[in-house]
Amino acid sequence: MDLKKQYITRQRRALLAFLSQRPEQLFSAEELMLALGQQGENVGLATVYRNLDKMVSQDMLARIIPSDGSGAKYEYLETRALPDSHYHMVCEECGRILHINCSRLAQLADHIESDHDFVLDSRRTILYGRCRQCAKKPQ
């Protein structure tokens, strides 16, 4: 699937340039279309979706699906070579997205792989919960 011919189009180049300049930031497909449009790079929404799909399957982007059902968001992945680089934590209350890069998580991944026969994917796994500010508030 990676062996197929693939053209480098103006639209694909613009999309990748935009995202790669904003690592660790999340954008919806529509936000990307609008942002590119403001740069003078008009790209159809369907084209944005088609390119995002390809980039996700090529591990260039992460697709994050919020639990509130608001639609997928996409993030550029710089560290393509490092599998356990970081995980995402999403606050269920305020929607804030935090990054965590901790050896305890890597240890847990090792444990789950050796003792539970499951290979974790840090790119797609999202830890849901409550951030510091929201955890303080009463339910």
Partner DNA sequence: TTGCGTGCAAAGGTTTTGCATGGCA
Partner DNA sequence: TGCCATGCAAAACCTTTGCACGCAA
**Is 106 one of the binding residues for its own copies (CB under 8 A)?**
no
Among 46, 65, 82, 94, indicate the residue that binds its own copies (CB under 8 A). 65
**Is 98 one of the binding residues for its own copies (CB under 8 A)?**
yes
- Complete DSSP assignment for 1-70: --SS-----HHHHHHHHHHHTSTT--B-HHHHHHHHHHTT----HHHHHHHHHHHHHTTSEEEE--TTS-
Q: Which of residues 60-89 bind DNA (CB under 7 A)?
A: 69-72
Between residues 38 and 139, which has the closer beta carbon with respect to its own copies? 139
Q: How far is the CB of 64 from its own copies (least distance, A)?
A: 9
* Residue 82: burial class (beta carbons within 10 Å; 0-12, 13-18, 19+): exposed
Between residues 7 and 114, which has the closer beta carbon with respect to DNA? 7
Q: Which of residues 109-138 bind its own copies (CB under 8 A)?
A: 111-112, 115-121, 124-132, 135
CA 57 centroid distance within chain: 12
Q: Which residues bind DNA (CB under 7 A)?
A: 4-12, 28-30, 42-47, 49-51, 53-54, 69-72
